[in-house]
């Protein structure tokens, strides 16, 4: 009898404690900071490499295709990306960039030489999509081109000629050639990458050697361009330190880093049929971005206290095994709610580091890795990552509102991660936007945001969620996951109490 009573008593106490813990919301404070930076819209950039079905079949089908196109570029893809307000598009690689000789891709298509795409499946590249095709496509997309130059197997002359070809409006050998190829006005490309992954596929260089190459290449490029150094892989802080030490600051527009959420380069795991273990590990890798940008920024601060140089995360995203049956060299993977959570949490990190992170490129845009668009011949679908990117356009060029809180934990086995990710901003019209992600795969989380004193009259919200983490859109069911109105919050005189369902992304607009 006594034993039963004790068990019953403990049960009640335990329930009360867990009930109290679950019910107590995490309080998130919005910090009023006049000096807070603007969130550069270029954080929301994209990436299109000559890889698999990204360019060929994805963006470009050729002007004889039955798929509706404008000078060979798919109209459906252009419309979807315009809707996403993509601020910039990086091209032609990636690893491909350091094998690419731009003069192969200009002039009459029938005269263009072919090359072998050594990094991506060993397929023949016919160069039918070249500089004019890309830059005209950027005009269609109303986006800024970001060209990665070839340092690994190119020459200083070649890159300098490319800049002259695209940008020079006077008379010169390269601007004459451009006009001969049908384009009078220069495109005025602002963003230039000086090689890609110089530590690896870009030439296996040491940082000191690359810094010397960078100095040489940029010497022959006009001032006024944003020249971006090929940066570190994830936590290679020595790489960043060496670049900052060895390159005069006035020669640097940005320093890149690349970081993929990959759990094991030899065993990346499935894109759709993943376990919670794989999900947790993926999110652990993704959330490392916080530490990476903090530490790379701290190194940059030592040399560039005024924060003139941008930290450019020009490759990021989830990387899994390719979809079963697809070419392993084409990096085609499906995109689930896991990717939506990954994107939302990563973009919150970038927003919150807007003082230094001023550009980033999700890898990649169409049909490769964490794509926002997937195509299958004439069909096109938008992925959950697309919808997150679209929900987050509210932050483009808005003023950051720093947030302060201590996140509840997402516990899995012996480990834990911060469960809640938040960023906030105020746009030019005075609207306050907050993006909230619950990383926890099982538990909802309750948060409270104090907006009182901000003159807020109404709040509306949008959510991206789905019953299963593995849910995704496919060609038979393209709208399984789409954003919807969210009502799971209460506005108590400006104090917003929000219950965020597991693995969901929410944006709120307060006016």
**Alpha carbon separation from 247 to 24, 201, 211, 296 (Å, rounded):** 51, 22, 6, 16
49 contributes a contact to ligand AHR by CB under 6 A: yes
197 contributes a contact to ligand AHR by CB under 6 A: yes
By beta-carbon proximity to ligand AHR, the closer residue of 127 and 441 is 127
193 contributes a contact to ligand AHR by CB under 6 A: no
State in angstroms the smallest separation of the CB of 334 from ligand AHR: 17
Residue of the chain from 26, 164, 175, 196 that contacts ligand AHR (CB under 6 A): 196
Tell me the DSSP string of 449-461. Answer: EE-TTS----EEE
Are 252 and 227 in contact by the 8 Å Cβ rule? The answer is yes
By beta-carbon proximity to ligand AHR, the closer residue of 214 and 280 is 214
Backbone angles phi, psi at 261, to 5 degrees: -85, 90
Residue of the chain from 125, 285, 315, 339 that contacts ligand AHR (CB under 6 A): 315
Label residue 191 exposed, middle or buried (CB < 10 Å: 0-12, 13-18, 19+).
buried
Are 465 and 341 in contact by the 8 Å Cβ rule? The answer is no
State in angstroms the smallest separation of the CB of 110 from ligand AHR: 28
371 contributes a contact to ligand AHR by CB under 6 A: no
By beta-carbon proximity to ligand AHR, the closer residue of 54 and 421 is 54
By beta-carbon proximity to ligand AHR, the closer residue of 259 and 387 is 259
363 contributes a contact to ligand AHR by CB under 6 A: yes
The two tokens of residue 183 are: 């384009």
State in angstroms the smallest separation of the CB of 203 from ligand AHR: 12
Judged by CB under 6 A, which stretch of 265-273, 282-290, 362-370, 420-428 contacts ligand AHR? 362-370
In three-state secondary structure terms, 144 is strand
> Interaction with ligand AHR in 79-118: which residues (CB under 6 A)?
93-95
State in angstroms the smallest separation of the CB of 99 from ligand AHR: 10
**Nearest of 511, 480, 46, 53 to residue 272 by alpha carbon:** 480
Eight-state DSSP code of residue 372: S
By beta-carbon proximity to ligand AHR, the closer residue of 268 and 426 is 268
By beta-carbon proximity to ligand AHR, the closer residue of 280 and 332 is 332
**Nearest of 252, 255, 257 to residue 235 by alpha carbon:** 257
In this structure, the strands spanning 45-47 and 409-412 are unpaired
Eight-state DSSP code of residue 476: S
149 contributes a contact to ligand AHR by CB under 6 A: no
Nearest-CB residue for ligand AHR:
94
231 contributes a contact to ligand AHR by CB under 6 A: no
Q: How many residues bind ligand AHR (CB under 6 A)?
A: 10
In this structure, the strands spanning 484-485 and 459-464 are antiparallel
Tell me the C-alpha distance between 314 and 464, whole Å: 25
The two tokens of residue 46 are: 């994209």
Which residues are marked as active site?
197, 315
Which residues bind to ligand AHR, rule: CB under 6 A?
49, 93-95, 196-197, 315, 363-364, 369
């Amino acid at each position: 009898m006594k034993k039963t009573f004790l068990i019953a008593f403990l049960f009640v106490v335990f329930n009360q404690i867990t009930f109290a813990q679950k019910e107590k919301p995490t309080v998130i404070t919005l910090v009023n900071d006049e000096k807070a930076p603007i969130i550069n819209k270029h954080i929301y950039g994209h990436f299109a490499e000559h890889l698999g079905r990204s360019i060929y079949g994805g963006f470009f089908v050729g002007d004889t295709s039955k798929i509706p196109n404008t000078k060979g570029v798919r109209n459906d893809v252009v419309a979807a990306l315009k809707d996403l307000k993509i601020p910039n598009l990086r091209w032609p690689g990636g690893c491909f960039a350091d094998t690419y000789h731009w003069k192969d891709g200009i002039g009459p298509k029938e005269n263009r030489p072919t090359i072998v795409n050594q990094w991506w499946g060993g397929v023949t590249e016919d160069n039918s999509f070249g500089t004019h095709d890309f830059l005209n496509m950027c005009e269609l997309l109303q986006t800024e081109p970001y060209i990665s130059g070839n340092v690994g197997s190119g020459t200083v002359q070649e890159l300098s000629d490319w800049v002259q070809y695209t940008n020079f409006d006077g008379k010169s050998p390269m601007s004459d050639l451009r006009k001969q190829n049908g384009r009078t006005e220069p495109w005025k490309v602002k963003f230039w990458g000086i090689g890609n992954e110089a530590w690896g596929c870009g030439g296996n260089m040491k940082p000191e050697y690359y810094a010397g190459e960078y100095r040489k290449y940029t010497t022959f490029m006009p001032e006024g361009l944003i020249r971006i150094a090929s940066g570190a892989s994830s936590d290679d802080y020595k790489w960043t330190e060496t670049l900052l030490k060895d390159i005069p600051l006035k020669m640097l527009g940005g320093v890149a880093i690349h970081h993929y959420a990959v759990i094991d380069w030899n065993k990346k795991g499935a894109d759709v049929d993943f376990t919670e273990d794989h999900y947790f590990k993926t999110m652990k890798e993704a959330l490392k971005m916080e530490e990476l940008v903090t530490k790379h920024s701290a190194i940059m601060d030592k040399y560039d206290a005024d924060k003139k140089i941008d930290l450019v995360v020009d490759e990021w995203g989830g990387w899994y095994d390719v979809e079963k049956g697809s070419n392993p060299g084409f990096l085609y993977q499906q995109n689930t709610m896991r990717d939506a959570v990954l994107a939302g949490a990563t973009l919150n990190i970038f927003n919150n580091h807007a003082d230094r992170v001023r550009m980033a490129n999700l890898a990649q845009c169409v049909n490769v890795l964490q794509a926002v668009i997937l195509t299958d011949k004439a069909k096109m679908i938008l992925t959950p990552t697309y919808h997150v990117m679209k929900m987050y356009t509210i932050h483009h060029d808005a003023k950051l509102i720093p947030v302060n809180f201590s996140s509840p934990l997402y516990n899995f086995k012996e480990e834990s991660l911060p469960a809640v990710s938040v960023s906030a901003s105020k746009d030019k019209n005075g609207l306050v936007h907050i993006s909230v992600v619950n990383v926890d795969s099982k538990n909802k989380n309750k948060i409270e945001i104090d907006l009182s004193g901000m003159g807020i009259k109404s709040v509306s919200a949008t959510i991206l969620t789905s019953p299963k983490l593995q849910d995704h859109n496919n060609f038979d069911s393209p709208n399984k996951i789409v954003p919807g109105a969210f009502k799971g919050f209460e506005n108590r005189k400006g104090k917003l109490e929000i219950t965020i369902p597991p693995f969901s992304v929410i944006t709120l607009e307060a006016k």
